């Protein structure tokens, strides 16, 4: 992507004109008059998600009724949508299912991982990781070792059963080196469990290439699956037969419709299904994934990096007193820029009143999501113009 000399609104418009992904914005139903920088919390509605949802309600549910479990393919939809999603995390079809929440998927995989490493009692994770990850770890592991990120590798030893990490930090957007940490975990015989909530659809992820064991993530952020759309769960094919789900539900049975009294786990990743998945949420996600079909994640990443670099430059030039809390080096950053300011909460509210939607994370972070499918360079200019105006001398 071209770099810009003089930074003004016209220069940002020129970047939009040269943007190969610009047409994708038309895929979304964004309200007029706002700049939406919160697609990393809740992605917007796409036309294909709306159409797919309409088909699932009026056609499959409304007309097909109970027959849709088989005829419309509802029974296998968690696997089928998982197969579609697999490409976006560098997994193979058959390694991903879509069901439940990230929190529940984390619970299932963390306990399965602990049980697969008898004699080891430690879950190693990072200080300040997402609350669900900490709560679930503390509920399940005899010992949770929480360390700062610079101490992760030295804290790996043969007592560690699972290394549980959020790949891209939800507060700062700082990204771990998945390949290096997975290798370090494997060197002491530990399994890895990656939380990809802020990675999927945000950065290229190569679970296979990194040799990762297990992963979870949500679909309502960068994938635009809709509020509470079902989460995904990944288990590497080589491990599937050796892991057992601790939540034995009938959908994880080898043959759910046999209604057998005896539990027999499904042969592949489907053994981690629990009960009936919300078919409407799954349909919305299925439709939302149409936008990703054929899209090259490298091109999405290239635009994401150019946008984040631009945003950082705008803040540096126009917003004195605001600290960039995300890494400045693109290679260490996901797809968001977090800004630190002591009055972040009031600033984010004031920005929202002027049509710029980001979010606040305690205690002092303004979090701005970079979502290349629907955000324009000029939106970043406009957002920072509002922030700069709010912070202009004598105003704040
Ligand atoms: C990093 C991370 N992990 C886990 C979760 C929890 O996801 P869920 O609500 O699907 O359980 C979130 C939600 O935002 C998250 O950001």
Q: What pLDDT, in 10s, does the model give residues 315-333?
A: 999 999 999 999 999 999 9
Residues of the chain above pLDDT 70, percent: 99
Taking the C-alpha atoms of residue 374 and residue 199, their distance in angstroms, rounded to an integer, is: 17
Q: Tell how strand 122-126 and strand 143-147 pair up.
A: parallel
Q: Which of 195, 359, 379, 382 is catalytic?
A: 195
Confidence of residue 394 (pLDDT cuts 50, 70, 90): confident
Instruction: Tell whether the model's pLDDT for residue 296 goes beyond 90.
Output: yes
Position 48 confidence tier, pLDDT thresholds 50, 70, 90 = very high
Tens-digit pLDDT profile for residues 210-256: 999 999 999 999 999 999 999 999 999 999 999 999 999 999 999 99
Task: State in Å: Cα 43 to ligand 1 middle.
Answer: 14
* The pLDDT of residue 393: 86
Is residue 131 scored above 70 in pLDDT? yes
Cβ contacts of residue 121 below 8 Å, gap of 6+? 141, 142, 143, 159, 161
pLDDT at 396: 79
> Span 288-313, mean pLDDT?
97
Predicted confidence (pLDDT) at residue 116 exceeds the cutoff of 70:
yes
Quote the ligand 1 centre to 132 CA distance (angstroms). 7
Is 220 designated active site? yes
What pLDDT does 3 receive? 60
Whole-number Å distance, alpha carbon 130 to ligand 1 midpoint, is 7
- Torsion (CA) 122, 126, 131, 132 in degrees, nearest 10: -50
Strands 191-195 and 214-217: parallel
CA distance 124 to 152: 8
pLDDT value for 1: 56
Catalytic status, residue 361: no
- The pLDDT assigned to 265 comes to 98
Q: Retrieve residue 247's tokens.
A: 């939540």
Please report the pLDDT score of residue 2 as a whole number. 52
286 within 8 A of 52, measured Cβ to Cβ:
yes
User: Per-residue pLDDT averaged across 278-303, rounded?
Assistant: 97
What pLDDT does residue 4 have?
A: 67
Catalytic residue among 36, 107, 170, 220: 220
| pLDDT per position as a tens digit, 133-159 | 999 999 999 999 999 999 999 999 999
Q: What is the pLDDT of residues 2-31, one digit of tens each?
A: 566 778 999 999 999 999 999 999 999 999
Residue 110 sits at φ, ψ, to 5 deg, of: -65, -45
Mean predicted lDDT score pLDDT of the chain? 97
Percent of the chain with pLDDT over 90: 97
């Amino acid at each position: 992507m071209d770099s810009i000399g003089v930074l003004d609104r016209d220069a940002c418009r020129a970047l939009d004109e040269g943007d190969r992904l610009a047409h994708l914005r038309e895929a979304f139903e964004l309200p007029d008059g706002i700049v939406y920088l919160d697609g990393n919390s809740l992605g917007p509605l796409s036309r294909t998600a709306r159409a797919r949802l309409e088909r699932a309600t009026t056609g499959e549910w409304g007309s097909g009724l109970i027959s849709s479990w088989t005829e419309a393919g509802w029974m296998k939809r968690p696997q089928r949508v998982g197969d579609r999603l697999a490409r976006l995390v560098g997994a193979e079809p058959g390694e991903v299912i879509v069901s439940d929440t990230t929190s529940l998927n984390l619970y299932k995989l963390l306990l399965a991982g602990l049980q697969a490493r008898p004699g080891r009692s430690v879950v190693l994770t990072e200080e300040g990781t997402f609350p669900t990850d900490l709560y679930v770890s503390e509920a399940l592991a005899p010992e949770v070792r929480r360390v700062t990120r610079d101490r992760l590798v030295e804290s790996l030893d043969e007592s560690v059963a699972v290394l549980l990490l959020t790949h891209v930090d939800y507060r700062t957007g700082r990204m771990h080196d998945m390949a290096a940490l997975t290798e370090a975990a494997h060197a002491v015989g530990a399994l890895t469990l990656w939380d990809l909530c802020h990675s999927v659809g945000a950065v290229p992820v190569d679970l296979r290439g990194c040799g990762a064991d297990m992963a979870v993530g949500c679909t309502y952020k960068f994938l635009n699956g809709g509020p509470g759309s079902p989460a995904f769960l990944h288990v590497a094919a080589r491990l599937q037969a050796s892991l057992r789900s601790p939540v034995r539900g009938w959908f994880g049975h080898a043959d759910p419709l046999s209604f057998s009294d005896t539990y027999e786990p499904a042969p592949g990743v489907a053994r981690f299904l629990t009960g009936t998945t919300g078919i409407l949420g799954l349909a919305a996600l299925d439709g939302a994934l149409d936008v990703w079909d054929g899209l090259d994640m490298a091109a999405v990443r290239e635009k994401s990096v150019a946008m984040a670099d631009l945003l950082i430059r705008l803040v540096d030039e126009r917003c004195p007193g605001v600290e960039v809390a995300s890494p400045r080096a693109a290679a260490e950053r996901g797809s968001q820029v977090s800004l630190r300011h002591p009055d972040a909460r009031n600033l984010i509210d004031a920005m929202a009143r002027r049509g710029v939607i980001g979010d606040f994370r305690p205690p002092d972070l303004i979090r701005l999501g970079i979502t290349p499918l629907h955000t324009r360079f000029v939106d970043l200019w406009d957002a920072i113009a509002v922030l700069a105006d709010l912070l202009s001398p004598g105003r704040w």
